[in-house]
Amino acid sequence: MTGKTAPPAKKPAPAAAKKKAAPAPKEKAAPAPKEEPAPKQESAPAPKEEATPKEEATPKEEVAPAPAAEEPPAPAEAAPTPPEAGAEAPPAPAEGSPAPPAEPPAPEPEPQPEKPKEEPPSSPLSLVVEEVSENSFTLTWKAPEHTGKAGLDGYVVEICKDGSSEWKAVNQEPFLSTRYTIPNLSSGDKIHVRVTAVGAGGSSAPATLEQPVLIREILQLPKIRMPRHLRETYVRHVGDAVNIMIPFQGKPQPEVTWTKGGQPLDKSRINIRTTARDTIFYIRQAQRGDSGQYQLCVSIGGTEDKAILDIQVVEPPGPPQNLKLVDVWGFNVALEWSPPADNGNAEIKGYRVQKSDKKSGKWFTVLERCTRTSCTISDLIIGNSYSFRVFSENSCGLSDSAAVTAGLAHIEKTKTTYQPEKIPQRDMMEPPKFTQPLTDRTTTRGYSTHLFCSVRGFPQPKIIWLKNQMEIREDPKYIALINQGVCSLEIRKPGPFDGGVYTCKAINALGEASVDCRLDVKVPK
């Protein structure tokens, strides 16, 4: 009797546990009779598997009352002794059987730590073809709107030939540039293209071109557009910088090569920079050794265009050689010299000859750009002594020094006797003759007027002026002049009474001659 009374005292403990763990089965646990365990023994193996992971404590407390009927001390250690309670163990799961199905949602909170998954970026925008050549094409696009918190790792470009379903990535690793050139394609192929953005959350949906890209040959023949001033010899002075830009055209990108005498250029002295449209030839400080013909070749495949750049670097020439004072006669001097040993890498354009009087010591230029290597200097002053010097000149200017005569040229007085030439006497006597007659004139009252005529004769004839056949004597109203046979009569502020016939008469020992004219004086109304 004592053994049976002990277990009921412990029954409230499992009931309290049941209230906490699963309040729903309370009503089922109270009325559950002990006669029903037999049919549930067949389902005992199933609850055993479910009870092992997380509800071992609950069944252990429920199993305790069953063995208590036979062995009172066992309730405290009922959990580890299932051999005898094997037949009675099923009732405990029967009472707790509703609990296992209610507990499966419990594992749902476990995936919560895995939630910080990054969303993939959105698709790239505005995918377009920028340029197509015979074996490549260039794509451009814009970054996607959403790149994620970690940002983009880059982009992957994939291509697929028209008629095929196999996409192939053209870049091994993602890149961040929004421009990409796909090389090594065959002319005539049609290529489908798509671009995918790659981020920490994965890859975006690809941005795809609607139409395939046709790889076609776009060929523009190579041509050099040589500037006009470079078509002739390009002249620079020693020490000057040479900076020349020569544009060209051609598509696809032509190959540009520079040579001098068939050999590559000396890169230590000459810098070449080539872009898609021009090439720049640059020398920091030109030397005479940089002179020569440079050949520029622009080629595409087997087609090419060539141009010659002729550069001449010059400096002032050296002085003439062997200047000699050849002869001195009267007030003249003859000089001779030889061309300079160094022409300064340019043609000698001429020579400048200067003289210096021993008295003054100053130099004066007597000849410029003398093209010969000899000259004669005249108009020297008799009694003076002169020295001479000669400069050579090229396109760069005069030589730094000059060749000077070794001695002086003395212009001495010569003893000469003047003998006048005997000229036969000739009769120069001639009667007066008017070569230019008087002409009729019309003047206005108050305006002075002149009458002109010309006369010749020897001896010089006497001139008499008459008005209406009356000689004009010393009258301040009239001024008569004769100069080199030209006779003039000025009538000062004539009035109506000054009109009439004027006569000019010339008289000498051999005869006389006369001319006349009419003068009309108008009175303004």
Place of tokens 């002026």: 465
What are the pLDDT digits (tens) for 67-98?
443 444 444 443 444 444 444 444 444 444 45
Place of tokens 């108009």: 379
What are the pLDDT digits (tens) for 276-289?
899 999 999 999 99
262 phi-psi bin (left φ>0, alpha ψ -120 to 50, beta other): left
CA distances from 210 to 37, 110, 135, 191 (A): 73, 45, 21, 11
Rounded to an integer, the average pLDDT of 125-149 is: 86
The whole-number pLDDT of residue 84 equals 44
425 — pLDDT class (breaks 50, 70, 90): confident
Structural domains in the chain plus CATH codes:
125-215 (2.60.40.10), 220-314 (2.60.40.10), 324-411 (2.60.40.10), 430-522 (2.60.40.10)
Rounded to an integer, the average pLDDT of 414-429 is: 79
Q: In the 8-state DSSP scheme, what is residue 39? A: G
What are the pLDDT digits (tens) for 8-65?
444 444 433 343 444 444 444 444 444 444 444 343 343 344 334 333 334 444 444 4
CA distances from 525 to 180, 445, 448 (A): 101, 11, 19
What are the pLDDT digits (tens) for 370-385?
999 999 999 898 889 9
Whole-number average pLDDT of the chain? 80
Rounded to an integer, the average pLDDT of 265-272 is: 91
What are the pLDDT digits (tens) for 316-365?
999 999 999 999 988 899 999 999 999 999 999 999 999 999 888 899 99
Rounded to an integer, the average pLDDT of 254-268 is: 91
pTM, entire model: 0.40
What does the alpha-carbon distance between residue 353 and residue 388 come to, in Å, rounded to a whole number? 7
Peptide bond before residue 72 is cis, with ω within 30 degrees of 0: no
Collect all residues with Cβ–Cβ distance below 8 Å to 136 and sequence separation of at least 6: 181, 182, 183, 184, 185, 215
Q: Are 181 and 159 in contact (CB under 8 A)?
A: no
| Closest to 137 in 3D by CA, of 147, 125, 146, 127 | 127
Rounded to an integer, the average pLDDT of 426-454 is: 92
What are the pLDDT digits (tens) for 493-504?
999 899 999 999
What are the pLDDT digits (tens) for 166-185?
898 998 888 889 999 998 88
